[in-house]
């Protein structure tokens, strides 16, 4: 139950589902984990193009993502767009690859530092980052620390993020039982993709029953696994947690997308577009069925996705697929002028024609994934590596204990 000094939810806050954008630009890619030189990547152009030209008003980051918060804050400020017109989410608790600090002081200090880096006075949503690495009691401590900042207006909503969906669901239940208030959001990554759909079904139902307002689907390319380049030919080779066998089978799937392509009329270049479209469309629908979708877009319930890009071209390709998903759902998106600019389409087709085209694209891609890609994945379909791995030790806690003995 709530502790005596635990602040209640501010009464003016609407449920998160009523305000959360359906699409986020994830800025883990503004980091040396994904690009060799993030300072010289077009991060300013990506943020401006997304927010000003394309109407994408959700941005996700973390202090764990190297310079990401700083670069994102600089880029957002440079757009001149009012703070109230975009939704910012960051994370706290993960200090480095093998170090976590979920103590009240560390969590709150992390958020206040994020405010400085992001050049803002508040963050809309903060997640306890990669919560599966910590004990349930430590996660509750972090959530309570974030809620204390919520009462100060420093942040508005509180969530947990991580990899194993069963652990995230159990933590959501535990937070509700211990504090008497559900966590607002769960951010799951790598579990609603062409390779792994384990988020669907029991875990997300369990999250909903634990009172979670919204579940966000992130890392639709599973941190670079589902790309033509793969994770062995870039910065991810140094840190990606996937086992070699999974990397190999993902490379085989990428080759299938090049050698046995989708119909030319779909104009898809490789596994990246196939994977993004499949996951965005799948989660847009499945989150609604599980009652963990956002209702803040065009008066329509839709599952919210978080995806990262490194170039303006990737952003445009992704948006074309997103708009097609919306078309298939019959959701107006007001993006026809930008669509014309990108594709050269001369006039706007009527709503029914767009819906039929979107649904046809969805059906073709779904059939390709299930009939051509899933057999290649074989036993690695729905495989997920252990997180944390067996024997993992929190180096920060270990060093703290060592210091205490001195």
Q: Which residue is listed with tokens 């959501």? A: 172
Q: Are 323 and 55 in contact (CB under 8 A)?
A: no
Rounded to 10 degrees, the C-alpha dihedral 309/323/279/288 comes to: 130
| Per-residue model confidence (pLDDT) at position 301 | 95
Residue whose C-alpha is closest to residue 16's, from 125, 144, 129: 125
By three-state DSSP, how is residue 136 classified?
helix
| C-alpha distances out from residue 177 to 17, 173, 209, 367, Å | 21, 6, 12, 42
Average pLDDT over the chain, rounded to whole?
A: 92
Which is the CATH superfamily of the domain at 20-405?
A: NADP-dependent oxidoreductase domain (3.20.20.100)
pLDDT per residue over 212-224, tens digit each? 999 999 999 999 9
Q: Hey, how many other C-beta atoms are within 10 angstroms of the C-beta on 162?
A: 24
Give the tens place of pLDDT for each residue, 243-283: 999 999 999 999 999 887 777 777 787 999 999 999 999 99
Active site residue 36: no
Rounded CA-CA distance 123/140 in Å is 20
The CB-side HSE value for 139 (13 A sphere, CA atoms) comes to 29
Instruction: State the pLDDT at residue 274.
Output: 95
Instruction: Provide the residue ranges of all domains of the chain, joining segments of one domain with +.
Output: 20-405
Catalytic residue among 43, 65, 102, 189: 65
Please write the tens of the pLDDT for every residue from 229-245. Answer: 999 999 999 999 999 99
pLDDT at 91 over 50: yes
* Residue 190, strand partner residues: none
């Amino acid at each position: 139950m709530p502790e005596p000094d635990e602040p209640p939810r501010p009464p003016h806050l609407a449920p998160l589902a009523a305000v959360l954008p359906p699409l986020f630009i994830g800025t883990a890619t503004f980091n040396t984990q994904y690009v060799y030189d993030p300072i010289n990547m077009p991060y300013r152009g990506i943020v401006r193009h997304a927010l000003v030209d394309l109407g994408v008003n959700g941005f996700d980051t973390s202090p764990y993502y190297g310079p990401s918060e700083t670069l994102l804050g600089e880029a957002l400020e440079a757009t001149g767009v009012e703070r109230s017109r975009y939704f910012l989410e960051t994370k706290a608790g993960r200090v480095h690859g093998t170090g976590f600090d979920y103590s009240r002081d560390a969590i709150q200090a992390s958020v206040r530092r994020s405010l400085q880096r992001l050049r803002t006075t508040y963050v809309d949503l903060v997640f306890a980052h990669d919560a599966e690495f910590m004990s349930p009691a430590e996660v509750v401590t972090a959530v309570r620390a974030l809620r204390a900042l919520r009462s100060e207006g420093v942040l508005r909503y509180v969530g947990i993020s991580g990899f194993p969906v069963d652990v995230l669901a159990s933590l959501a239940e535990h937070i509700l039982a211990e504090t008497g208030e559900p966590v607002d959001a769960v951010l799951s990554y790598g579990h609603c993709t062409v390779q792994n759909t384990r988020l669907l079904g029991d875990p997300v139902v369990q999250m909903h029953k634990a009172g979670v307002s919204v579940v966000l689907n992130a890392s639709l390319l599973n941190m670079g696994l589902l790309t033509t380049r793969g994770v062995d030919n870039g910065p991810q080779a140094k840190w990606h947690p996937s086992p070699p066998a999974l990397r190999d089978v993902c490379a085989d799937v990428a080759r299938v997308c090049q050698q046995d392509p989708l119909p030319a009329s779909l104009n898809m270049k490789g596994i990246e577009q196939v994977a993004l479209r499949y996951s965005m469309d799948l989660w847009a629908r499945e989150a609604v069925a599980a009652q963990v979708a956002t209702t803040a877009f065009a008066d329509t319930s839709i599952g919210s996705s978080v995806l990262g890009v490194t170039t303006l071209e990737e952003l445009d390709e992704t948006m074309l697929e997103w708009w097609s998903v919306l078309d298939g759902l019959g959701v107006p998106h007001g993006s026809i002028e930008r669509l014309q600019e990108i594709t050269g389409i001369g006039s706007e087709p009527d709503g029914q024609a767009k819906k039929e085209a979107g649904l046809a694209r969805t059906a073709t891609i779904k059939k390709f994934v299930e009939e051509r890609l899933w057999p290649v994945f074989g036993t690695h379909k729905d495989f997920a590596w252990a997180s944390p791995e067996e024997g993992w030790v929190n180096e920060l806690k270990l060093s703290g204990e060592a210091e205490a003995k001195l």
